[in-house]
A and B are shown apart, each in its own frame.
Chain A
Amino acid sequence: MFLIHCPYCNEEREQEEFSPAGEAFIARPEAPEDISDEAWADYVFYRTNHKGDHWEQWVHSNGCRKYFMVERSTITHEILKVAAFGADISE
């Protein structure tokens, strides 16, 4: 039951306005037909299920409908950062 800051609406809102959309930084392979079955399966099915600080995608589904990224601790569920796609997340 998180409070999530939407970087587009620029407001902290109840989790029920949002939907999770999987791990962040899962890039679609540039040339799917040229890669091995294993590499394709890795993209389609395998996720890190990381314990600790983790970047994931959320969508403000009952709000502005924008997708954005959230860094969240999967241990404490503390939300550490939120970022729009393309934003600098290095700091």
Chain B
Amino acid sequence: MRVEQITSHQIDRSKPLTFIFNNKKYKGFEGDTLASALIANDALLFARSFKYGRKRGLMAAGVEEPNALVSLEMGGRYTPNLKATEIPLYDGLSAKSATNPHSFDLRAFIKPLHRFMPAGFYYKTFIKQAVWAKVEDSLRALSGFSEAPTQEDVDVYDHVHHHAEVLIVGGGAAGMSAALEVLKNSDSERVILVDERARLGGELFNEFASDEAAAIWHEEGVADLCGFAKEQSDRFTMLTRATAYAWHDQNYVEVLETHATGENLSLTNGSQVRKTLHKIRAKKVILATGAHERPMLFEANDLTNIMLSQSVRRYLNEFGAVSGKKVVVYGNNDSIYQTAQDLHRCNISCTVIDVRSAGATNSIADKTRQGGIKVMQGYAIVKAHGSDKVDGIDVALAVRQGVSWEVIGESESLSCDLLATSGGFNPVVHLDCHTGAKATFDEVSQAFLPQKERPNRQTCGAVSGVGAWHDAVIDAKNKAQLTLQSLGVVSEVNNAELGENHSNYYNVGEFFTPAAIIERPKVFLDLQNDVTTLDVALSIREGYRSIEHIKRYTAMGFGTDQGKTGNINGIAVAAAILGKTMPEVGTTTFRPAYTGVDFGALAGRENGGLFDPQRYTTIHDSHVAKGAEFEVVGQWYRPWYYPKTGENIHQAVHRECLAARTSLGMMDASTLGKIDVQGPDAREFLSRVYTNAWMKLAPGSCRYGLMCNEKGMIIDDGVSTCIGDNHFIMTTTTGGAASVYSTLEMWLQTEWNHLDVHLNSVTDHYSTIAVVGPNARNLMKLLCQDVDFDRESFKFMQWRPGIVCGVSARIMRISFSGELAYEINVEANYGRYIWDQVATVGEKWNITPYGTESMHVLRAEKGYIIVGQDTDGSMTPADVNMNWIVANNKPFSFIGQRSFSIAALSAENRFQLIGLLTKDASVVIPEGAHIIDNGGKSVGYVTSSYFSPMLGRSIAMAQMQGGLSKVGETTIVKIVQEKQGLKEIPCEISSSVFYDINGERVDGND
């Protein structure tokens, strides 16, 4: 309900808004969050819990909320798993619970089985059962999170880089104070202040009703900061609705700023982007991240309308919203009295239950009593009642005995409709710990405080244990002074004194974890993951001791929650069960991201067409005109096949292959990597990086080379052309061009900087058109008159300069198909002209363009490997039956040579390249299928497999253990077929060369 007498600091009652939640229409005000508006409408049920399907409501008012996950909007603006507490209300907002609390829920139906669902339940139940595949889908649907989006995000996200001298994270009293102190005492230092909420002030708004000074300080502070932001905008940036979610090395902080959650961007103040990811490099960081309240523990502490005390207070003071009329405030520190007084001031009936005995807390308790509020000191809540919602509690006496608590006596019942609890405060150390800081347990504040000293960072305010706002303001000024001093801006630091007992978090008592409480069922620690005290106890019984292991076994602190409310209580429970102290148990590791980050924001503008460079050859338009289908190879769009009307890929490839083998084919080979190698030591360099000999290769000749790494494994192959004694053009695989170039540079720059060799990537400088087939020579004679194409004068593996259709060209006689073939290299921009000329002149022989698929079939027929397909980084030249290319007698021990003599590389059971011929010639084995031996074990797998039009049968290449010694034997290849189980394909092991075994076709037939 809405409390009318509250002067709300957030909502504007003159601006009503309408919104939809779980298909129902509600009204709220501008300034509301979705959560506060729903409280005002008494719509309290938000979710079904993850494991048990228990109904849950709001627990908190901010980023720490574990239950109220919703999805926002639909279609291209659908966003899953947002916290209702962090969604500012806008007109027309439409949201849906991640898990519908009103629908029938299987888990609620099996409620009596709860005790059978401890930590590891699903794992233990299903891992050995054949039913896993059947239940997996329905279990995953119960994950507790929203459905994943199905449509593309329609909005735009930006990345912005910043550099600053000082970054202040957190815009509460401490952060505001620190920013002002830095700004007022410096002239040119760049300052950035970020805060996750829409308005600066943090928890300070809570104090306005009871402390006029807070309201005045806040008003002046905001005015001053806005003044700086306006007048010194070149050095001061203020980001609100911006969460610093990750702190990386060297003070690199990532901040996600939300301009709009679900609104149509045309309705927001001109912003064209939904969210901006700020990448901030700061010399110094001041953390003013505050603290999260932790709940008290008791049975059924997860019932709807059991909330955190300071959150109840915040809904009341900031939004004038409260979800009960008869409130119990329960806790172990003085802050609960403030909540009670604020409620009482609004004529809401409330009772304070303080677990601490009367002695410690007399003055504030007495003052509260005098105000007319019932106060019970030394009492504990052992259990909450209620079905959908809390309707009462059982309380009993609590006594501190030495170092532990006990609950004694009979319990008595009290009724209530809202229960607010406070078990102390957890400093938000997440960000600080991202780069390795260790939080240390502090007895006085009963909290893990940030590591004392860290280079280039200060902490101030509640994150440092300083709870009261006026102390936080002073603390922040002191830390700002220290920051300025470390920047050399001020020479002396004026340290102001803080108030007495400033770091005891409202006289917080010890963790209340008596056995009488934590041995009960349904004492929830982590509400998002449904982890109870019994789960922690079980994990310890099963042998887990480290808190990191307990966390993983129970899933405590997983999900979007990241342990904000539950983890520290979990540590306290583990400590109680293990009989250890809090520091002995320690914390788990905090890792980025602190809150969820949209994929869209991470991608920024590098999305869709800008995700990766798209490379096209200069011939591309001719391929498109010819109706080519394309495939992407290392960013290049290569023609895959050229279907004629009505043809499928198989028919097209069949036609293309036969054309190349029987008459004439042509293909665009421009994408092969090309590296220009020049210098007096170019030959020596090639000799070092390739396995074969290069010293005697004459200008006018070409040579195929195989490149290995130092481990002796094949990494690339290609033909290099000798242009002159000091000049070669190396070609690499299309996909390997960049990495080969980089590797070659590494050798030249790091090991061999005495070699006079220079490399230049010239891949894009030349277009390469391959003409392939028995009529290739006839065609070349028509295209180029100044070269003698006679088979004896222009031999295989030679090149000649010539004029092709008026264009200066390098013509290489090389072949990747085994057929007579020439590759015409021209300056790139002549590529399409030459291609079209070749196509026209070649019509005489029905010249047929072919793509990568036919190229693969043609090369496989000849047993030519594709590095990266038939090899995988663990294959030596010997493994692929290419020892003929290894020259072991070169003076310089080439890259990888030494590894060949290691015994393991000549072991008999190494995977070796073989061919497979299926007994049924029409069966084409799927690539990746496994070869199975008599014992049923996998001994290899198929790397390339095609139907060969020329041979009229299927052919396959495979890696098989000891395969080269098994040629001629029969083996079985097994494949898994969808819904049909295993299929066995009998094959004969063969050589990997299937066609033209003696290599007679390369000279042509004239």
Assembly CA distance A86 to B752 (angstroms) = 12
State whether B899 touches A40 (Cβ < 8 A): yes
Q: Are A28 and B751 in contact (CB under 8 A)?
A: yes
**B497 contacts chain A at the CB level, 8 A cutoff:** no
Majority SS at the chain B contact face: mixed
Chain B's closest residue to A79 (CB) is B250
How far is A86 from B753 in the complex, measured between Cα atoms in Å?
10
Tell me the smallest distance from the CB of A23 to a CB of chain B, in Å. Answer: 12
A84 → B minimal CB distance (Å): 10
1/0 per residue, CB under 8 A from A, across B160-174: the answer is: 010000000000000
Q: Which of B248, B435, B750 has a CB less than 8 Å from the CB of A67? A: B750
Instruction: Render B239-264 as a binary contact track against A, CB cut-off 8 A, 1 for contact.
Output: 00000000011101000000000000
Interface: A65 (CB within 8 A): yes
**Within the complex, which residue of A29, A40, A57, A77 is in contact with B250, where a contact is CB–CB below 8 Å?**
A77
Residue of A whose beta carbon sits closest to that of B751: A28
| Residues in A neighbouring B435, C-beta threshold 8 A | 77
A3-37 CB mask vs B (1 if < 8 Å, else 0) is: 10000000000100001010000011101110101
Query: Of A40, A41, A59, A77, which contacts B249 at CB under 8 A?
Result: A77
Q: How far, in Å, is B891 (CB) from chain A's closest CB? A: 11
The answer for the CA separation of A3 and B751 in the assembled complex, in Å, is 26
Identify the closest chain B residue to A61 (Cβ).
B742
A66 to B711 Cα, complex, angstroms: 24
A-B contact count (CB 8 A): 59
Docked-complex contact B281 and A32, CB < 8 angstroms: no
CB distance from A64 to the nearest CB of B (A): 11
Q: What is the 8 Å Cβ interface bit string for chain B, positions 862-906, against chain A (1 contact, 0 not)?
A: 000000000000000000000000000000010001110111000
Does B749 have its Cβ within 8 Å of any Cβ on chain A?
yes
Q: Which of B718-746 contact A (CB under 8 A)?
A: 742, 745-746
- Chain A residues, Cβ within 8 Å of B999: none
Q: Among residues 734 to 792 in chain B, which have CB atoms less than 8 Å away from a CB atom of chain A?
A: 742, 745-746, 749-751, 753
Known interface pairs A3-B250, A40-B902; A66-B751 also in contact (CB < 8 Å): no
For window 446-487 of B, CB contacts with A under 8 Å fall at 455
Taking the complex as formed, is A48 at the interface, i.e. its CB lies under 8 A from any CB of chain B? Answer: no
Residues of chain A lying within 8 A (CB to CB) of residue B248? 1
Cβ of B827 within 8 Å of any chain A Cβ, yes or no, is no
- Tell me the nearest residue of chain B to A84, going by C-beta: B749
Would you call B155 an interface residue if the criterion is a C-beta within 8 Å of the partner chain's C-beta atoms?
no
Q: Given A33-B893, A44-B710 in contact, is the A1-B898 Cβ separation under 8 Å?
A: no
Residues of A within 8 A of B899 (CB): 40, 44
Give the chain B neighbours of A67 by CB distance below 8 A.
745-746, 749-750
Distance, CA A35 to CA B901, complexed state (A): 11
Tell me if B742 and A2 are in contact (CB < 8 A).
Answer: no
Which of B250, B746, B903 meets A21, CB within 8 Å? B746
Q: How far is the CA of A48 from the CA of B158 in the complex (A)?
A: 41
In the complex the two chains form, what is the Cα distance from A76 to B248 in whole Å? 11
Tell me the complex Cα distance, A25–B474, Å. 51
Which residues on the B side are within 8 Å of A37 (C-beta)? Answer: 901-903
Whether B746 and A78, one on each chain, are in contact in the complex, defined by CB atoms closer than 8 angstroms, is no
A1 near B250: Cβ-Cβ < 8 Å: yes
**Given A32-B898, A77-B250, 12 further pairs, Cβ under 8 A:** A3-B252, A33-B898, A40-B899, A43-B710, A44-B710, A65-B742, A66-B749, A67-B749, A76-B455, A77-B249, A85-B749, A85-B750
The 7 closest A-B pairs by CB, nearest first: A32-B898, A77-B249, A1-B248, A1-B252, A32-B893, A67-B749, A44-B710
A-B contact pairs, 10 of them (CB 8 A): A1-B252, A33-B898, A33-B901, A35-B898, A37-B903, A65-B742, A67-B750, A76-B455, A77-B250, A78-B250
